[in-house]
């Protein structure tokens, strides 16, 4: 790892795969396993940086593609970099824009040179190559930066997945050569769809390149829980045990816990804030939709034992009113609660690993959360 970075395993589950650790970066430590809120355009929507800290957040994510379009990576640099621009003094991770190969499939073309997008703002073309992605991420100034990759959808013909793996490996080499800052850690992404041999090939080639950590991508693109469980189960053991493992774009509870059990350390997802903006709140007994009539006069907080600012001060009935009235406070308060729900889950996972209670904790968590499935 670069000198300013380290990861230390502090405890393991009885099976030996789930682990609790500490990732050190230039802007602070991250206790793992950890959840990373998504701040695509240099903000976690509606949530102040001070509030994120109060909720137990230690690392946030921003997206290179979106920031390269607006305001431009050079503008972010001139504004002092992402830390200054976001008002966040903790660690930041930037995705490279490779996920947009999947999410903007109708607006792009991919060659060995890079990804050419017809951008979603004004329709103008932009090309993201390994070299330009690294230049942009160096300008943005995040602690952890991701290599440009190709994320195939599910399902996809094997030939398409093979091509995605070939380009992902090619671009990882080029990203490493183009990366210029020693105070940023560059992590590559393992692709391969649901093809076990391609996952193995990609992982082994990337490990041979000796990066400081590794991500698993392409497992939140429509493949479902069972495929995700298989892919993570194949791939995580192929990655070095002394370095962090990051599963990208995964936020469903059952997906998180099976992945932690397989040895994954970091997760990001838009679900807590996106669902909050749509009037939904997480509880230990499952997600509730507060716009439903049943909550109209409900005096209870979202969750009785939750210590978040929302649950300390607002009832379900009040939150329903705010959501039904389209008041901007509703998505803010629900996002705050949902983020705290996630950080509490991860605090519990870390504690259970340290205490030797991981399997029992996970079983109780799943039994309650999915009791009505």
Domains contained in the chain, CATH given: 59-268 (3.20.20.105), 270-373 (no CATH)
3, 95, 139, 255: the active-site residue:
95
Verdict on whether the full-model pTM lies above 0.85: yes
Percent of the chain with pLDDT over 70: 98
- Give Cα 117 distance to the centre of its chain: 23
Provide the pLDDT for residue 75: 98
Measured CA distances, 113 to 5, 110, 273 (Å): 31, 8, 35
Can you say how many angstroms the Cα of residue 23 is from the centroid of all Cα atoms in its chain?
A: 16
Using pLDDT thresholds of 50, 70 and 90, give the confidence band for residue 102.
low
Active-site annotation holds for 95? yes
Average confidence (pLDDT) over 343-351: 98
Q: Is the pLDDT of residue 1 over 90?
A: no
What's the rounded mean pLDDT across residues 223-241?
Answer: 97
**Average pLDDT over every residue of 228-242:** 98
- Tell me what the mean pLDDT of segment 78-86 comes to: 98
pLDDT at 325: 98
DSSP 141-198: T-SEEEPP-----SS--HHHHHHHHHHHHHHHHHHHHH---TTSEEE-EE--TT-HHH
Can you tell me the distance from the alpha carbon of 60 to that of 182, in angstroms, rounded to the nearest whole number?
20
Per-residue pLDDT, 124? 85
pLDDT > 80? residue 83: yes
Instruction: Identify the residue with better confidence: 210 or 109.
Output: 210
C-alpha closest to that of 296 among 329, 318, 326: 318
Could you tell me if 159 and 167 are in contact, meaning their C-beta atoms sit under 8 angstroms apart? no
State the pLDDT confidence band at 311, using cuts at 50, 70 and 90: very high
pLDDT at 286 over 90: yes
pLDDT for residue 125 is more than 90: no
Q: What is the mean pLDDT of residues 105-125?
A: 83
pLDDT above 80 (res 258): yes
Q: pLDDT digits over 9-34, tens only? A: 999 999 889 999 999 999 999 999 99
Whether residue 126 has pLDDT greater than 90: no
Buried b (16+ CB within 10 A) or exposed e, 219-252: bbbebeeebbbbbbbbbbebbeeebbbbbbbbbe
pLDDT band at 187 (very low <50, low <70, confident <90, very high): very high
Model confidence pLDDT, tens digit, residues 131-182 = 999 999 999 999 999 999 999 999 999 999 999 999 999 999 999 999 999 9
Question: According to the model, what pLDDT value does residue 117 have?
Answer: 82
- pLDDT of 101: 63
Please list, in sequence order, all residues whose beta carbon lies within 8 angstroms of the beta carbon of residue 176, skipping any fewer than 6 positions away: 147, 186, 209, 211
Calculate mean pLDDT across residues 67-83: 97
The C-alpha atoms of residue 249 and residue 223 are separated, in whole angstroms, by 13
Nearest to 137 by CA among 91, 100, 173, 186: 186
Please list the residues that pair with 144 across neighbouring strands.
93, 185
Average pLDDT over every residue of 294-311: 98
Q: What percentage of the chain carries pLDDT values higher than 90?
A: 89
Whether the pLDDT of residue 214 is over 70: the answer is yes
pLDDT number for residue 208: 98
Beta bridge partners of 108: 117
Q: Where are the beta strands (DSSP E) in 33-184?
A: 34-37, 60-63, 92-95, 108-111, 114-118, 125-128, 144-146
Selected catalytic residue, list 113, 268, 307, 326: 268
Distance of CA 276 to the CA centre of its chain: 17
Taking alpha carbons only, the member of 164, 133, 127 closest to residue 146 is 133
Radius of gyration of the chain from its Cα atoms, rounded to whole angstroms: 20
User: Max alpha carbon distance in the chain (Å)?
Assistant: 60
Phi, psi of 332 (to 5 degrees): -65, -50
Q: Tell me the sheet residues that pair with 8.
A: 22
**pLDDT at residue 15, rounded to an integer:** 84
Alpha-carbon distance of 360 to 355, in angstroms, equals: 11
Q: What distance in Å separates the CA atoms of residue 61 and residue 30, rounded to the nearest whole number?
A: 13
Which helix (H) or strand (E) segment holds residue 231: the answer is helix 225-235
Q: With beta carbons less than 8 A apart as the criterion, state whether 73 and 135 touch.
A: yes
Average pLDDT along the chain: 96
The residue-averaged pLDDT of 259-287 equals 98
Average pLDDT over residues 211-224: 95
Give the pLDDT band (50/70/90) at residue 122. Answer: confident
């Amino acid at each position: 790892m670069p000198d300013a970075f380290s990861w230390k395993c502090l405890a393991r589950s009885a099976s030996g795969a789930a682990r609790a650790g500490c990732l050190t970066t230039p802007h602070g430590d991250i206790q793992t396993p950890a959840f990373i809120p998504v701040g695509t355009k240099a903000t976690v929507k509606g949530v102040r940086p001070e509030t994120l800290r109060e909720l137990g957040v230690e690392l946030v994510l921003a997206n290179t593609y979106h920031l390269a379009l607006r305001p431009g990576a050079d503008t972010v640099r001139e504004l002092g970099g992402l830390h200054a621009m976001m008002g966040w003094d903790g660690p930041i991770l930037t995705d490279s824009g490779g996920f947009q190969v999947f999410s903007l499939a109708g607006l792009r073309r991919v060659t060995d040179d890079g990804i050419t997008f017809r951008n979603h703002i004004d329709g103008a073309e932009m090309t993201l190559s390994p070299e330009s992605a690294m230049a942009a991420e160096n300008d943005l100034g995040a602690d952890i930066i991701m290599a440009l990759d190709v994320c195939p959808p599910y399902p996809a013909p094997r030939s398409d997945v093979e091509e995605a793996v070939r380009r992902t490996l090619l671009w990882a080499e080029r990203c490493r050569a183009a990366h210029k800052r020693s105070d940023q850690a560059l992590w590559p992404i393992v692709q391969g769809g649901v093809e076990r041999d391609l996952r193995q090939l990609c992982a082994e080639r990337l490990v041979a390149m000796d990066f400081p950590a590794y991500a698993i991508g392409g497992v939140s693109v429509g493949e479902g829980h069972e495929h995700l469980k298989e892919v993570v189960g194949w791939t995580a053991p192929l990655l070095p045990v002394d370095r962090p493992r990051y599963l990208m774009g995964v936020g469903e509870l059952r997906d998180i816990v099976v992945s932690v059990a397989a040895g994954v350390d970091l997760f990001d997802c838009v679900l807590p804030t996106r669902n909050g903006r749509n009037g939904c709140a997480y509880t230990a007994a499952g997600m509730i939709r507060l716009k439903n009539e049943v909550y109209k006069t409900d005096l209870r907080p979202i969750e009785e034992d939750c210590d978040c600012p929302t649950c300390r001060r607002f009832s379900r009935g009040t939150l329903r009113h705010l959501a039904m009235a389209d008041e901007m406070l509703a998505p803010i308060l629900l996002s705050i609660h949902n983020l705290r729900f996630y950080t509490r889950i991860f605090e519990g996972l870390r504690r259970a690993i340290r205490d030797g209670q991981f399997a029992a904790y996970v079983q109780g968590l799943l039994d309650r959360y999915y009791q009505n499935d």
